[in-house]
Amino acid sequence: MGEKLAERKMKYYKYNIFGREVLIERRSDGWKTFYQGSEGKRRNAGIFIPDEVDEPELTQYLSDLCHEWASESHPDVICLEKNH
């Protein structure tokens, strides 16, 4: 039961990071990032977000960290969805 309660308190963000969709979770043990497949399976996105980064800073942090992914067709980091 405690685990289910923790899941409900977890914050989720869905981002388009220069054309790559990434699911980001804020858990009690820090930030976790995933690529989500079409059938719902997740794999680690390998993006490290320090615990000190707060939600208002997240878009800028991702933009600074992943700027090499930018292209003419995908020039931005966009928050697509927030669930908290």
pLDDT in tens, 46-71: 999 999 999 999 999 999 999 999 99
Q: Say how many Å lie between the first and final Cα of the chain, rounded.
A: 19
Residues facing residue 20 across a β-bridge: 17
d(CA 78, CA 17): 6
Quote the number of domains for the chain.
Answer: 1
Structural domain boundaries enclosing 18: 2-83
79 and 27 in contact (C-beta within 8 Å)?
Answer: no
Tell me the pTM: 0.84
Q: Are 51 and 58 in contact (CB under 8 A)?
A: no
pLDDT exceeding 90 applies to what percent of the chain? 79
